[in-house]
């Protein structure tokens, strides 16, 4: 049987903490939240699904740029590693 490896993938992500101000991009607090419906959540591209957020979840934008999905912190840390960003450095 052939063997395969998951291709390296770069993503952007921001960790969510339940603090009323300064929520990451993609967190929705629509009217249902203020009316006792659901709490802070993201909308996924999968049939407009609403996924509520837990403290510490990572929010990752989907490829369409309009939807987001959450990843639990322990899964995120086991799957992704930080990338050093050298875009703001200058050589002299």
* Tens digits of residue pLDDT in 35-67: 556 678 888 887 778 888 899 999 898 888 888
Confirm whether 9 is domain-assigned. no
Domain of residue 50: give its range: 14-79
Shortest CA distance to 74 belongs to which of 6, 1, 15?
A: 15
pLDDT score recorded for residue 47: 72
Q: Is residue 5 part of a domain?
A: no
* Number of domains comprising the chain: 1
Q: Is residue 28 part of a domain?
A: yes
With respect to residue 73, please indicate whether it lies within any of the assigned structural domains.
yes
Q: Is residue 31 part of a domain?
A: yes
């Amino acid at each position: 049987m052939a063997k395969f490896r998951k291709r390296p993938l770069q993503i952007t992500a921001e960790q969510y903490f339940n603090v009323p101000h300064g929520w990451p991009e993609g967190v929705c607090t629509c009217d249902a939240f203020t009316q006792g419906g659901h709490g802070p959540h993201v909308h996924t591209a999968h049939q407009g699904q609403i996924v509520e957020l837990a403290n510490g979840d990572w929010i990752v934008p989907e490829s369409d740029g309009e939807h987001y999905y959450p990843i639990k912190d322990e899964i995120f840390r086991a799957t992704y590693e930080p990338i050093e960003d050298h875009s703001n450095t200058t050589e002299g």
